[in-house]
């Protein structure tokens, strides 16, 4: 059951929040890009234009001073070596002027006009100075020297003006750079605030639109699970959350229906359990009767038949003695059948607690019990060195090995019996094998041989009641494994059965692989 009011789906809520955040971020990023561009322009103006122009203006001033020094020395001494500073100054002037032109001091700019004024003054001064320093000319008069000095002083004024303008431009560029840096800082702060606000908006939006309704739905589900399964689950919020609430409520109703069915099944199970308990009680009583009351008449029949045979031996003909022998044999076989049936019914019902046992010791106990049979048949039992320990009941597992080894001796061929007992790891289980060189079993009988009292040979050919393999299957399955006839073995017989490996046992070779990896 859900709220009938229309609700936005989560996709629409997410789209709205994403759109708002995208708009805020775009505005913040546009402002940041603008501030960064302004900062880059101011930095470029200061470092790539104004600063280098100021340096080249200083170089131009030094070149003109060198020229003036050289000409003055020549005028005083009339020696040509004093003109070397003048010539070097001319070369430095040309380089400085070319660099200033490259840096933007073109005629249509304020820097270019300052440079043109300096060059014009330098040309005027240089013309007057060179006229006085012509080779072979008369020595300049004091008035001429003073005139040249005044022209150079005027040139100094123009150089000072150029330096002042460039210094003012440098200060302005530094001011612009500082302003751009400050603006960028504020823009970055604004971006951080916008991002934080976007996250807060996203968190608040998700909390209101998604987290809150989900928490309410979770609280309602916990309340239903802990207190009242009959309470309807109502969900609010986005469409998906409401649909989830509807699905949960559908599941609640289904659980109610299944619980009702389980209650009916539980009542039927209790009835059947009581019936099974009565049946088990009857089976226990039957076992007691079979082990005591049924055995006693058989013993009497056997005893009295033997007594008749002994007392009336001289009066009975061959036919009578044969009939008494049949009666005694039947009673004995009946006793064996009853004992085997009792043993079969007691598997897993009266055993002790499972414990860790060494399967090599179990095989040794089984061969010890069969010592006379093995010696009489000249049999040889070969036991692998790697039989592992398993968890189980010692007496029952000993019976498994004893039955399989005893069958290998019983159903032997013309050669002396040779029985091999081995084991190999297969995942979480150990697979045990008992292989012989006997007469073998056809594959079509692979399942029939494990059915109780099923025999493949006549009673006169091989002794036994046909319960041994059924007993082995019941014991192995009681221990969590399975037993089967390996039909791929064509010579002799091979029985295999599995038992769970102990938790601490490693797969063969695992330790060597770990050492090699290390």
Q: Can you give the pLDDT at residue 467?
A: 72
Q: Can you give the pLDDT at residue 421?
A: 92
Is there a domain that residue 48 lies in? yes
C-beta separation of 1 from 249 below 8 A: yes
- Write b or e for each residue in 216-231: b if 16 or more Cβ atoms lie within 10 A of its Cβ, otherwise e: bbeebbeebeeeeeee
141 and 35 fall within a common domain:
yes
68 and 30 fall within a common domain:
yes
Is there a domain that residue 285 lies in? no
Domain boundary among 149, 175, 193: 193
140 beta partners: none
Which value, in Å, is the radius of gyration of the alpha carbons in the chain?
58
Closest-CA residue to 221 (of 232, 210, 237, 211): 232
141 and 42 fall within a common domain:
yes
45 and 147 fall within a common domain:
yes
Is there a domain that residue 162 lies in? yes
374 and 477 fall within a common domain:
yes
- DSSP, collapsed to helix, strand or coil, labels residue 484 as strand
Packing angle between helix 142-206 and helix 10-44, nearest 10 degrees?
Answer: 170
Q: Provide, rounded to the nearest whole percent, the portion of the chain with pLDDT above 70.
A: 75
C-beta separation of 169 from 42 below 8 A: no
At residue 411, does pLDDT exceed 70?
Answer: yes
Neighbours of 465 (CB within 10 A): 18
184 and 45 fall within a common domain:
yes
161 and 138 fall within a common domain:
yes
Q: Which residue has the tokens 């009835």?
A: 271
Is there a domain that residue 436 lies in? yes
Cα 55 to Cα 85: distance, rounded to the nearest angstrom: 20
Kind and range of the H or E element at 429? strand 429-436
Q: Looking at residue 481, which CATH number applies to its domain?
A: 3.30.565.10
Is there a domain that residue 250 lies in? no
22 and 148 fall within a common domain:
yes
Cα 84 to Cα 70: distance, rounded to the nearest angstrom: 7
At residue 304, does pLDDT exceed 90?
Answer: no
- Over residues 21-46, the mean pLDDT reads 77
Higher pLDDT, 399 or 11: 399
At residue 251, does pLDDT exceed 90?
Answer: no
C-beta separation of 402 from 370 below 8 A: yes
Is there a domain that residue 371 lies in? yes
C-beta separation of 398 from 362 below 8 A: yes
Higher pLDDT, 454 or 164: 164
408 and 387 fall within a common domain:
yes
Residues 73-123: tens digit of each pLDDT: 777 777 777 778 877 888 888 888 888 888 887 888 888 888 788 888 778
Is there a domain that residue 277 lies in? no
Domain boundary among 148, 165, 193: 193
Our count of domains for the chain comes to 3
At residue 293, does pLDDT exceed 80?
Answer: no
What's the distance, CA 136 to chain centroid? Answer: 100
Residues 460-514: tens digit of each pLDDT: 555 555 677 888 888 888 888 988 888 888 788 898 999 998 886 655 555 555 5
Higher pLDDT, 496 or 454: 496
Higher pLDDT, 292 or 25: 25
Q: Can you give the pLDDT at residue 313?
A: 64
**Domain that residue 340 falls in:** 294-344
- DSSP, collapsed to helix, strand or coil, labels residue 301 as helix
48 and 117 fall within a common domain:
yes
132 and 34 fall within a common domain:
yes
At residue 133, does pLDDT exceed 70?
Answer: no
457 and 320 fall within a common domain:
no
Q: pTM for the whole thing? A: 0.43
Domain boundary among 126, 158, 193: 193
Is there a domain that residue 61 lies in? yes
Kindly indicate the confidence band of residue 430, based on its pLDDT and cuts at 50, 70 and 90. very high
């Amino acid at each position: 059951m859900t709220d009938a009011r229309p609700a936005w789906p989560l996709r629409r809520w997410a789209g709205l929040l994403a759109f708002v955040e995208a708009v805020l971020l775009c505005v913040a990023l546009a402002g940041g890009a603008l501030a960064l561009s302004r900062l880059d322009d101011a930095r470029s103006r200061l470092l790539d234009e104004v600063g280098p122009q100021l340096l080249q203006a200083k170089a131009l001033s030094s070149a003109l001073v060198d020229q003036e020094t050289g000409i003055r020395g020549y005028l005083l001494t009339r020696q040509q070596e004093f003109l070397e500073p003048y010539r070097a100054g001319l070369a430095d002037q040309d380089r400085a002027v070319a660099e200033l032109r490259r840096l933007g001091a073109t005629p249509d700019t304020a820097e270019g006009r300052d440079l043109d004024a300096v060059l014009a003054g330098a040309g005027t001064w240089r013309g007057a100075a060179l006229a006085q320093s012509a080779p072979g000319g008369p020595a300049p008069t004091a008035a001429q020297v003073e005139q040249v000095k005044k022209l150079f002083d005027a040139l100094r004024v123009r150089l000072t003006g150029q330096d002042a303008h460039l210094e003012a431009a440098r200060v302005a560029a530094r001011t612009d750079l500082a302003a751009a840096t400050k603006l960028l800082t504020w823009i970055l702060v604004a971006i951080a605030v916008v991002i934080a606000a976007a996250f807060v908006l996203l968190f608040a939006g998700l909390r209101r639109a998604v987290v809150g309704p989900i928490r309410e739905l979770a609280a309602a589900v916990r309340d239903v699970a802990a207190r009242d399964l009959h309470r309807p689950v109502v969900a609010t919020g986005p469409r998906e959350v409401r649909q989830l609430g509807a699905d949960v409520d559908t599941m609640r109703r289904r659980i109610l229906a299944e619980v009702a069915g389980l209650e009916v099944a539980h009542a039927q199970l209790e009835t059947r359990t009581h019936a099974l308990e009565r049946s088990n009680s009857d089976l226990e009583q039957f076992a007691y009767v079979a082990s005591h009351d049924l055995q006693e008449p058989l013993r009497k029949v056997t005893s009295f038949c033997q007594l008749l045979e002994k007392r009336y031996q001289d009066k009975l003909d061959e036919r009578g003695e044969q009939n008494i022998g049949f009666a005694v044999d039947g009673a004995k076989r009946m006793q064996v059948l009853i004992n085997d049936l009792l043993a079969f019914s007691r598997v897993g019902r009266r055993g002790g607690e499972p414990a860790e046992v060494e399967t090599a010791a179990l095989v040794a106990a089984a061969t010890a019990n069969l010592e006379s049979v093995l010696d009489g048949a000249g049999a040889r039992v070969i036991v692998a060195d790697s039989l592992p320990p398993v968890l189980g009941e010692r007496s029952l597992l000993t019976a498994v090995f004893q039955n399989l080894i005893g069958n290998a001796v019983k159903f032997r061929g013309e050669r002396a019996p040779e029985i091999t007992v081995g084991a190999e790891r297969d995942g979480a289980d150990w697979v045990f094998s008992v292989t012989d060189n006997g007469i073998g079993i056809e594959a079509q009988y692979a399942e029939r041989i494990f059915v109780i009292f099923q025999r493949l040979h006549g009673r006169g050919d091989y002794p036994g009641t046909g319960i041994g393999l059924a007993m082995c299957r019941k014991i192995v399955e009681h221990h969590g494994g399975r037993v089967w006839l390996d039909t791929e073995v064509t010579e002799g017989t091979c029985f295999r059965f599995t038992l769970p490996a102990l938790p601490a046992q490693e797969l063969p070779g695992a330790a060597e692989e770990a050492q090699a990896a290390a």
